[in-house]
Amino acid sequence: MNSAKGKTILVVEDEEFNRIYFEELLNHLQCKVLVASNGLEAIDICKKHNDIDLVLMDIKMPLMDGYETTQTIKKLRPNLPIIAQTAFAMLGDKNKSLENGCDDYISKPVKKDVFIKLLQKHL
């Protein structure tokens, strides 16, 4: 069963390769995909689109990091699930993500099956 079908997912990712990877995965799952390349853009998109069902948040980004972006989005939409994703998976990253308001965490490179399970958990 595809619980992600028809859902709107905001992908916040500054690396083009990663962004394309997530877009392909989500399009395959029949999601509507919105894209932001930095935290400020992500906040703006969240303000304009009340139909977003989930945010996939890169942590290391220009202008505003994923932690600060998450805190701001959670003030606007406290119940919007945000999944942190980072290539810099170190001990404590998961806890720091959760402490900053993220609902879950996934490390890059993202495995397709793990990613799909996380989506189903939060949608």
Q: What is the 3-state secondary structure (H, E, C) of 21-43?
A: HHHHHHHHCCCEEEEECCHHHHH
Q: What is the pLDDT of residue 56?
A: 97
Q: What would the pLDDT profile of 29-67 be if each residue is shown by its tens digit?
A: 999 999 999 999 999 999 999 999 999 999 998 889 999
Q: And the tokens for 44?
A: 């703006």
Architecture of domain 8-122: 3-Layer(aba) Sandwich (3.40)
For the chain, the structural domain boundaries read 8-122
Mean pLDDT of the chain: 93
pTM of the model: 0.94
Query: Predicted confidence band at 91 (pLDDT cuts at 50, 70, 90)?
Result: low
Q: What is the pLDDT of residue 90?
A: 65
Q: What would the pLDDT profile of 4-14 be if each residue is shown by its tens digit?
A: 899 999 999 99
